[in-house]
Structure 1
Amino acid sequence: MRTTPWFEVREDNVVRPDGVHDVYHHVVSPGSITVVAVDDDDRVAVTRQWIYTHAARQWRLPAGAIDAVDVDPRAAAERELAEETGVRAVRWEPVAQVNGADSFTNHVDHVFLATGLTLGTPSREAAEADMDVHWVPMRKALELVADGGIRHAGSVCGLLAVGIRREATDRW
């Protein structure tokens, strides 16, 4: 087993469905959060930053790891939204949970809708120094998903879930 500050890589002895003994390699993660923060003008906070593992700047919603100091995923969502964007929200609603790579990891991304927003000053980590925050109309954010401009799984899931809910209730 290899442990890092963010995850563990494990090798488990298993019995496969066909009865054969094998070793299953997988990543164990505390999970992450993604926030669909929508302001009173129906604009969504979308970040843009360099993502090392994809070697490119990417559009995504505010997101981050669930840290040991977080009592639950919502606490992580509140912390990450404030750190990355300076935004605080009055209302929080769970929207979805995303299993991004089931055969590879137990990782779950908890997606929240945040409304009743108050703007403040971000307090980003050093690795987020290149992050920009853009306020994009919800329809434009959904177009970015449809066009492949937003590819982060939690962001895609969150925007689609909120968009579908709005469509169902005619809240456009």
Structure 2
Amino acid sequence: MADTDPSDGSGTDAGADDGSEGDGSTSDDLAWRTTGSEVEYTCPGFAVRRDDVILPDGTETDFHSVEDPPAVVILPFTPDGDVVVIEEWRQAVGRVNRGLPAGTADADDADLDAVARRELAEETGHEADSLRYLCAVEPANGLLDSVHHYYVARGCEPTAEPDLDFNESIRVEVTDYDDLLGAVLDGAVRDGRTILGVTRYELADRWR
């Protein structure tokens, strides 16, 4: 099955009430009907939305979800086959997180390839010779509407200092790919985006 084309906008619209699945199929007997929707809280990065819904059995209730912009996750290889990774403080879990560079798309970003190149440069100071789309994933579609778009970048070399946001605390490292894979498999890496990106590449890309 081909991966979703990031340019078609699929998976990025929230609040659909027609029972549509991300793959275009429908399950009308399972669909909830949305009768109203309101954003109850906003902050930099996301918003919390409340939908008034009618369940298939006729029950009327509400449902809260998070509106989260699309994101890109990059698996960046150097010319020698090593991987550029970042260590970043994560306040939510109170520790340094080791993983792949990633970032969110702005509202006016139409080209996700360009977003991936931008986030790679901003977080690591590296630029890639080539970029290839890997897959699209809905990381937690029971809670939020975001779609994460994964890329494999080749020929990554440092060209500038990282250009970090004021609230980003990041250290850049270059590591052996097999060491990163081992850390993913033995649980030393707990970052979900990194685990998914490395295993997706390993199982469906590296060995095909």
TM-score, normalization: structure 2?
Answer: 0.75
Aligned to 2:87: 48
- Give how far 1:61 is off: 0.4
1:77-123 CA distance string (max 9 Å, x none): 11110001111112111112222211111111111101122312211
Aligned to 1:147: 186
Aligned to 1:131: 170
Q: Work out which structure has the larger RCO, using CA pairs closer than 8 Å and 6 or more positions apart in sequence.
A: 1
- Give how far 1:8 is off: 1.5
The percent of aligned pairs where both chains have the same amino acid is: 30
Aligned to 1:15: 54
Structure 2 counterparts to residues 96-107 of structure 1, below 5 A: 96-107=135-146
- Give how far 1:166 is off: 5.1
Q: 4+ residue stretches of structure 1 with deviation over 4 A?
A: none
Contact 1:144 1:150 in 2 (8 A): yes
State the structure with more CA Rg.
2
Alignment RMSD, CA only?
1.6
State the secondary structure of the residue aligned to 1:127.
coil
Structure 2 counterparts to residues 86-101 of structure 1, below 5 A: 86-101=125-140
1:59 is aligned, of 95, 98, 111, to 98
Instruction: Structure 2: give runs of 5+ residues left out of the alignment.
Output: 1-39
State the secondary structure of the residue aligned to 2:128.
strand
Instruction: Structure 1: give runs of 5+ residues left out of the alignment.
Output: none
- Give how far 1:44 is off: 0.7
1:26 is aligned, of 65, 72, 83, to 65
- Give how far 1:69 is off: 4.2
- Give how far 1:163 is off: 1.5
Letter aligned with residue 167 of structure 2: A
TM-score, normalization: structure 1?
Answer: 0.90
Aligned: 1:157 with 2:175: no
State the secondary structure of the residue aligned to 1:2.
strand
C-alpha distance in 1 between matches for 2:148 and 2:190: 14
Contact 1:98 1:153 in 2 (8 A): no
1:49-98 CA distance string (max 9 Å, x none): 11011111010100111122422322221111000111111211111222
1:83 is aligned, of 101, 122, 140, to 122
Q: Give the count of matched residue pairs.
A: 168
Contact 1:59 1:149 in 2 (8 A): no
Contact 1:33 1:110 in 2 (8 A): yes
